[in-house]
Amino acid sequence: MLDSAVKDAARGSEIALNEYQAGTVDYTTVATAQATQLSTEESALNVKQQRLLSTVSLIGDLGGDWAETGRRADRATRVMRHSAETDARTRRLP
């Protein structure tokens, strides 16, 4: 939804500039359209930033952190690899 609002605002700025160049509107219309576009883009970025911050906060609230998550993933990978190697050796036994 935000992406479409940003695209619509950019399109509005483009139309306003084209109309100004054609002489059908004054530059105030272009400036207003560009201000609206900038405001819409800023709002979209703020929402994206808030989503990222909320994700980080949720991970912390659940008792994890980025470093700990990485260590767990590394350990899980080692355990799975060891298990696969053990299975392969077991299958080769006569």
pLDDT in tens, 7-53: 999 999 999 999 999 999 999 999 999 999 999 999 999 999 999 99
pLDDT (0 to 100) of residue 94:
46
Enumerate the domain spans of the chain: 1-63, 64-94
The count of other CB atoms within 10 Å of the CB of residue 46 is 11
Q: What is the DSSP letter of 26?
A: -
What's the predicted TM-score (pTM) here?
0.62
Q: Provide the pLDDT for residue 42.
A: 96
What amino acid occupies position 70? G
Contact of 6 with 41, CB cutoff 8 Å: yes
Long-range contacts of 54-62 (CB under 8 A, 24+ apart): none
Euclidean distance between CA atoms 30 and 21, whole angstroms: 10
* Tens digit of each residue's pLDDT (9 = 90 or more) over 56-67: 888 888 887 666
CA-based nearest residue to 29, from 39, 7, 14, 44: 14
Provide the residue type at 86 as one letter.
Answer: T
Sequence-separated contacts (24+) of 48-54 with Cβ below 8 Å: none
